[in-house]
Amino acid sequence: MTAAFAQLFGIADGFAGIGFTGRTDTAIFRDAVNAHSLDGEFPTLLARFQETYFSMLPRTLTEVQAQVLSGVHELLAGIQAAPGASLGLATGNFRESARLKLEPFGLYDFFLAGGFADDSEDRAEVVAIAIERLAEASGGPDPREVYVIGDTPLDIAAAEANGARSIAVATGFFSVDELTTAGADVVFPDFSSWQAVLDALLG
């Protein structure tokens, strides 16, 4: 995102001082636009930024030593195979950047539907949209229970705002204690013991 911002607007380190963790890309970009007083209508600036960002992201991803964290594939496969359970993606990423980041690892196709930064700047609304789309895609009634899995306090708050339970995992920037204090219903240090997470979700 920083490289795309620099290429498009000629401003190096354009996101300096702007918080990323748990936020939507649209909100992050708006903060940068305001911080640098960029001229133009926001939707137009956003569309130009997305085009540049999406064109640069595949190359950037090949330069990063990324890997799927332990237990994630198994957990997603377990949820997918469970009768009556459906998987949706609620992410602060744009839809296209989410696809570009997840597809190479075989993760994107686990999700029937989702909510993205293209849909809203607000994390809670992104989750609400994901829940609605997942209900439609699964062909059933509104879900009986919804669990939001995330690694930030904003994910926990988004779950609460939508009447969902929160499963937090401390593989990001927040510790088990911090996520517990933020109000998560259940907290795991990681998903290496994926069966225990699956039991918490389906038990």
Residues 136-156: pLDDT tens digits?
Answer: 998 865 667 899 999 999 999
Q: Are residues 20 and 103 in the same domain?
A: no
Mean pLDDT of the chain: 95
The last residue of one of the domains, among 11, 35, 62, is 62
- Is residue 57 included in any domain, yes or no? yes
Same domain for 46 and 92, yes or no, is no
Whether residues 48 and 84 share a domain: the answer is no
Q: What is the CATH number of the domain that holds 99?
A: 3.40.50.1000
97 and 164, same domain (yes or no): yes
Report residue 97's pLDDT band, with 50, 70 and 90 as the boundaries: very high
Domain boundary residue among 43, 62, 81? 62
pTM of the shown model: 0.92
Question: DSSP states of the chain as a string?
Answer: -HHHHHHHH--TTTTTT---TT--HHHHHHHHHHHTT--S-HHHHHHHHHHHHHHHHHHHHHTS---PPTTHHHHHHHHHHSTT---EEE-SS-HHHHHHHHGGGT-GGG-SEEE-TTT-SSHHHHHHHHHHHHHHHHTSSS-S--EEEESSHHHHHHHHHTT-EEEEE-SSSS-HHHHHHTT-SEEES-SSSHHHHHHHHH-
Residues 10 and 50 placed together within one structural domain of the fold: yes
The domain of 77 spans 72-202
In a domain, 165, yes or no: yes
pLDDT beyond 80 at 108: yes
pLDDT of 61 reads 92
Q: Confirm whether 67 is domain-assigned.
A: no
Name the pLDDT band for 40 (thresholds 50, 70, 90): very high
